[in-house]
Amino acid sequence: MRAPVLKPILAVYCGLFLLFLYGPLLVLGILSFQSGPEGGPQFPIIEWSTYWYRDLFGMNPPSRIAPLPIEDGLIRSLVLSFMTTVVSTVLGVMSAQAFRQKFKGSSAVFYLIVLGMMVPGVLVGLGTALLANTLGIDRHWWSTAFVLHVVYTFPFAFLVMLAIFNRFDPTVEEAAWSLGVTPARTFRKVTFPLIFPGVLSAMLFCFTLSYDEFSRTLFASGRDLTLPLAIYGTFSVEIHPNIFAFGVLTTLFSLALLAVYAVLMGMSIRRAQRVLVQEEA
């Protein structure tokens, strides 16, 4: 097919693809400005208002609409995501570092690690709940759910770091060792600054995956709900635009995280370049 014909088709395809991706987010943003408290999640907009944003912060007078129960769930999700990010990233870096050299049974260990992200979350969550009940272990978001989050996010951190180490030049480390630098100091002063962009990517992966994880958490978190479960509980009873307002704020929070990630990534790349220049000198 000739380029003059192909280009418009590809443009339409890309437009429809982007609309499919971001259309729901656009609708969610529009509905979050519905008037309240009588306005619901429907078009057309009765009147543009920031009522539901004020409702999230308790700035509106009491009405028949109950406040969105997100405070405790939000704190639990943030703490759980942070714990998962730290543990999964550390395990990912250590595991990828170990796989830089071939060892007996490495293939089996590799598939055991990635199995955590391939098994359906519902099955893993249900199995964990049944096992905990059998053994008499109480289920909590900070114990059983935390373990499942690590099992789920650790393979992503591992694969990211494995890709980083595959592009890593080992002669930089060998040069440091030849100068009598200990392996621990070499990792801290040479290796880690060079792989830091990958570590940031792994941390971002783990945090976002853990923050909105639902299926595994549903069976393993016990009575205390995380944010996705709290929102689902509200959504299943009655839908009000305060959920959409909260979704917009959550999206802005994610974009802020990406901005911080971009700044840290730029700083780490410049730092790694300085390390390479010093090594070459």
At 155 the pLDDT is 93
120 CB-near residues (< 8 Å, 6+ apart)? 215
Q: What is the pLDDT of residues 224-244, one digit of tens each?
A: 888 888 888 777 667 778 888
| Average pLDDT score, the chain | 84
Inter-residue contact 27 to 17 (CB < 8 Å): no
Residues 6+ apart with CB under 8 A from 130: none
Provide the pLDDT for residue 91: 94
Please give the Cα distance from 126 to 122 (Å, whole number).
6
Q: Model confidence over 252-268: pLDDT tens digits? A: 888 888 888 788 777 77
SS3 of the chain: helix, strand, coil, percent, to 5: 75, 0, 25
Cβ atoms of 216 and 152 within 8 Å: the answer is yes
Q: What is the pTM of this model?
A: 0.80
Q: For residue 279, what pLDDT band results from cuts at 50, 70 and 90?
A: low
**What is the Cα–Cα distance from 192 to 4, expressed in whole angstroms?**
49
Q: Read off the pLDDT band of 55 (50, 70, 90).
A: confident
- Let me know: does 64 contact 37? Beta carbons within 8 Å: yes
For 151-210, what is each residue's pLDDT tens digit? 999 999 999 999 888 888 788 888 888 888 888 888 888 888 888 888 988 998 899 899
Task: Tell me which residue has tokens 């901005």.
Answer: 259
Residue 273 to residue 276: CA distance in whole angstroms: 5
* 3-class secondary-structure state, position 240: coil
Contact 77, 226 (CB under 8 A): yes
Examine the pLDDT at 278 and tell me if it is beyond 70: no
d(CA 262, CA 249): 20
Summarised one tens digit per residue, pLDDT across range 84-97 is 999 999 999 999 99
Residue 177: HSE in the Cβ half-sphere, 13 Å Cα cutoff: 9
Sign of CA dihedral 223, 121, 163, 201: negative
- Say what the pLDDT of residue 150 is: 94
Q: What is the pLDDT of residue 228?
A: 85
Instruction: For 2-37, write each residue's pLDDT tens digit.
Output: 667 788 888 899 999 888 888 888 888 888 888 877
- pLDDT above 80: residue 248: yes
pLDDT tens for residues 114-139?
888 888 888 888 899 899 889 988 89
Cβ-contact 152, 190 below 8 angstroms: no
